[in-house]
A = this chain, B = another copy of it.
Amino acid sequence: MLPSIRGMKVVYHSSEVPELHSPYLICGFPGSGYVGKLAIDHLIQELNANHLADIYSNSFPPQIVIRSNGVAELMKNTIFYSKALSPGNNDLLLLTGDSQPENPDSAYLLAEQILDIAAKFNTKKVFTMAAYVSGVFVDNPRIFGTATDIDIVNTFSEKNVFPMNKGGIVTGMNGLIVGVAKLLGMQGTCLLVETSGYVVDAKASKSILESLTSILGIAVDMTSLEKKAKDTEMLIQTIQQQIAREGLEYQQSNMPRKPSNTGYIS
């Protein structure tokens, strides 16, 4: 099983392969603040996306996870698909998952495995949603971006996306898969949203999903994610009140108001 296919196993949900026309691949791997994963899971739900395939890997943590009805299964990544909502839109492949691989080699392999599947549907464009960890709570998180092609970077300003600076890095699968896509001749865009890094941040998640859907030109009902974003806002307020009570000094040393330009974590 697993080892014979380079430590991975792909299980298709149905023997019937859907007909998709150069779908965009949209990824939200679990990472800092769960911003990407919350966004992709919301998108999958609102688009009523269909289950395409599960990817198991012996580089995911060696454990089982309990699903809602008490049933256990291995950790996995899952690809869903959604047919274009209108003629002007694109079909979509949507990737979510329980985990990222536990070592660098396997991260590269997983990126290839996912892109191999997308390549079968003739995918040309990949989008990922990542976290830009700033160490501060902000009211209106900014969206940053980088891409495999200068033409894409040049469109960022009209979408209120700040291009990332030279020398910056995006770690983990949300960055890596964009780089591997480039090597395979695809175009990739990585969006990043400011998040503190201290909480699961549905508010940042909502912001990055709004940015992505604007770029894709699709409309998605945000009600349920907005509700989660309100919860995040209340949590952050509680933390900030605690900090205020405990004095200004702690806040300054550990949670500077001004975002620094250092940490990028996907």
State the A residues within 8 Å of B (CB). Answer: 1-3, 6-7, 9, 11, 56, 58-75, 102-109, 112, 146-150, 153, 156, 163-173, 175-176, 178-180, 182-184, 188, 190, 266
Contacts and interface: CB of A to CB of B under 8 A. Distances in A.
A224 B59 CA distance: 40
A167 B59 contact: no
Contacts of A64: 146, 169-170, 175-176, 178-179, 190
Contacts of A1: 112, 180, 183-184
Contact of A148 (B58, B60, B73, B171): B73
B62 A108 contact: yes
A149 to B, nearest CB: 7
Contacts of A74: 176, 179-180, 182-183
A113 B182 CA distance: 22
A61 B109 contact: no
A71 B108 contact: no
B65 A168 contact: yes
Q: Which residue of A66, A68, A170, A184 has the most chain B CB atoms within 10 A of its CB atom?
A: A66
A184 B1 CA distance: 9
B105 A104 contact: no
A58 B104 contact: yes
Q: Which residue of A60, A68, A69, A179 has the most chain B CB atoms within 10 A of its CB atom?
A: A179
Given A70-B147, A71-B149, A75-B179, 19 more contacts: A3-B6, A58-B104, A58-B105, A61-B171, A62-B107, A62-B176, A63-B172, A63-B179, A64-B175, A64-B176, A64-B179, A66-B164, A66-B168, A66-B170, A70-B163, A72-B148, A72-B175, A73-B148, A73-B182
A166 B104 contact: no
Contacts of A168: 65-66
A170 B65 CA distance: 7
Nearest to A189: B72
A29 to B, nearest CB: 11
Contact of A63 (B163, B166, B175, B188): B175
